[in-house]
Amino acid sequence: MTDLLHPDRVLFDELAEWTSTGSDGSAPVVSLYVPIDPLQRHLDRLELRAAVAWAEHSLVHDHGMHRSDAIAMLAPIGAPEYAHAGNGDSPIRGVAWFVSPDRSTGAGLPGSVGPSVTIGAVADTIGLVPFVDHGPSYFALAFSQHDVRLFAADRYGARQIRVPDLPRNLDDALWYVRREPTFERHGSGVMHMSGDGRSHHKDDLRRFAQLVMSAVEPVIHGSADPLVVMGVGYETAIVADVAGHRPVLRADTGTPDRFSPSTVHELTLGVVTEHADPAAEAVALVAELLGTGRAVTAVADIDEWARQGAVQALLVARPLTDPPRTQGSLEGDRALLADAVTHAVAAGASVYAIEADRLPSGCTAAAVLRW
């Protein structure tokens, strides 16, 4: 099993190679999606057994396989090493398997799926679309004078990442600075001690922010993903000011020292999506290019262009990507669309699950072509 939280091109490359040799239906592919039990934190064994039992029966009675061959084909799905994929602190919420008589692969997913099992000539990858379309990716910097942490984030969550030489706090970063008290004479002639470094606090905070960004930049260098700085307003403004050419967004969240990764994600995702919504841009591009030959909506045409590597962006109606509990054959337009998803992603296309009413009227999918 591929331990992927967002199935990537490697998985789709593999599945595309399957369908190039099994498109005549002689090598059935079983596609199975099973949720992780949210209470027990392991695969829902009852759902898994029921899905495998149905697949075995269908392979024997509908596809003419000997029972021993069907059992051998489905064996990887029940392998013990996969049975507890969601244990511990894993963010996996579901698992997808794809098996044929001589091959198997799969992925852990960061969202609940199924239970669903289908059998057809191609892998039913439509259920993977929401996890390929994981929304904008970005970095989040939780910044305060007392604590600094960097997170990598996307639509599904945020995880803290290690930053070598990252100052833990302002005092540690500027340990060498010793501020001498200053004195002010008031109208009465009395001298009062003031400052004790407080008058230099803004300069110290700016230097601290510079040291933080000097440590962070090598970690995120080469990525065009935006950086969201979260914290108290005037402190995030200083970080944004010293960040140079790095795109910086600000989230005035108050002191973030005790924020969990889920809270960091909750407070920053909206800031990013206000500035970047790739799916909305793809929807607009479809509307602009319809009738020019650069956008297609017929599923058969989408599949044909996807197999040629010509699809730049593929939009799939969300009801198709989040199917109800289902057992059945993968055929017709869904089989063509699943094949298109596989080949489009394998060729580097962007794929989005969107609401059906955002597609051209009557369409379940649309594609923007590279040429």
- pLDDT higher than threshold 70 for residue 307: yes
Can you give the pLDDT at residue 67? 95
Task: Extract the tokens encoding 325.
Answer: 């509990």
Task: Please state the domain extents for the chain.
Answer: 9-134+278-369, 138-176+196-273
| Burial per residue of 52-72, b for 16 or more beta-carbon CB atoms within 10 angstroms, e otherwise | bebbbebbbeeeebeeeebee
Can you give the pLDDT at residue 350? 87
Can you give the pLDDT at residue 219? 87
Can you give the pLDDT at residue 42? 59
Percent of the chain with pLDDT over 70: 81
Can you give the pLDDT at residue 24? 47
281-289 — which CB contacts under 8 Å span 24+ positions? 282/313, 282/315, 282/350, 282/352, 282/368, 283/315, 283/354, 283/358, 283/359, 285/313, 285/368, 286/313, 286/315, 286/359, 286/360, 286/366, 286/367, 286/368, 287/360, 289/368
Of the ranges 6-10, 31-35, 334-338, which is most confident?
Answer: 334-338
What is the CATH T-level fold of the domain 9-134+278-369, as seen in this structure? 60s Ribosomal Protein L30; Chain: A; (3.30.1330)
If you average pLDDT over residues 181-209, what whole number do you get?
Answer: 62
Can you give the pLDDT at residue 243? 84
What is the CATH T-level fold of the domain 138-176+196-273, as seen in this structure? Nucleotidyltransferase; domain 5 (3.30.420)
> How many helices (H) does the chain have, and how many strands (E)?
12, 16
Mean pLDDT of the chain: 82
Query: Comparing 77 with 142, which gets the higher pLDDT?
Result: 142
Structure confidence by residue, pLDDT tens digits, 89-143: 456 778 889 999 989 988 888 777 878 999 999 999 999 998 886 667 789 999 9
- pLDDT higher than threshold 90 for residue 10: no
Distance CA 115, CA 112 (A): 9
Distance CA 23, CA 61 (A): 20
Residue from 221, 244, 270, 243 nearest 143 by CA: 243
- The one-letter amino acid at 194: S
If you average pLDDT over residues 262-283, what whole number do you get?
Answer: 86
Exposed / middle / buried, residue 11 (Cβ in 10 Å: 0-12, 13-18, 19+): buried
Distance CA 33, CA 55 (A): 12
Can you give the pLDDT at residue 338? 95
pTM of this prediction? 0.70
- pLDDT higher than threshold 60 for residue 185: no
Can you give the pLDDT at residue 121? 92
